[in-house]
């Protein structure tokens, strides 16, 4: 049986939550992960995923060059990639700051992507925006839990 690209997208998106969950479990259990402090692993994975989403925002902007939001999305995509990098550099000194900045980044990218899709009246694939809404909510909750840990 062959999976459709839509099914693969959905599966990969939800599987992407696993490293967040595993890091949180290790934080709670006071265990290391890959020989690293679990807080560090959480921050590093979060920064990588934020950078990945920045790339998706870049792609959305390129696909919608007609809209005035496109220029802003291009700038934001680079800004959030740089923010993720900066967080990686400073995370050892400020865990709380790092988690808060990354949380803000996830919400801001979700909002920007949602706005582009609304302005362009883009609703294909139909499952995408509801999936992004759920994933962003879950990732936000994971970050809030990480702050409490």
Closest CA to 139 of 1, 2, 8, 23: 23
Distances (CA, A) of 130 to 30, 34, 66, 111, 139: 34, 33, 25, 13, 14
pLDDT (tens digit, 9 = 90+) per residue, 15-61? 999 999 999 999 999 999 999 999 999 999 999 999 999 999 898 88
Look up the domain containing 140 and give its range.
Answer: 5-148
pLDDT of residue 73: 86
How far apart CA 11 and CA 26 sit, in angstroms, is: 24
pLDDT score recorded for residue 1? 60
Mean of the per-residue pLDDT values of the chain: 92
Provide the number of structural domains found in the chain: 1
pLDDT (tens digit per residue) in 66-120: 777 788 889 999 999 999 999 999 887 899 999 999 999 999 999 988 888 888 7
């Amino acid at each position: 049986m062959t999976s459709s690209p839509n099914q693969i997208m959905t599966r990969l998106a939800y599987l992407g939550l696993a490293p967040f969950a595993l890091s949180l479990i290790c934080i709670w259990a006071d265990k290391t992960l890959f020989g690293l402090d679990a807080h560090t692993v959480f921050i590093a994975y979060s920064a990588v995923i934020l950078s990945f989403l920045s790339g998706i925002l870049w792609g959305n902007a390129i696909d919608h060059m007609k809209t005035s939001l496109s220029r802003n999305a291009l700038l934001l995509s680079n800004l959030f990639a740089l923010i993720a990098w900066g967080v990686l550099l400073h995370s050892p000194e400020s865990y709380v700051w790092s988690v808060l900045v990354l949380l803000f980044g996830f919400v801001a990218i979700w909002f920007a992507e949602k706005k582009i899709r609304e302005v362009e009246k883009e609703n294909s694939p139909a499952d995408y925006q509801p999936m992004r809404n759920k994933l962003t909510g879950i990732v936000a909750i994971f970050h809030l839990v990480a702050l409490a840990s």
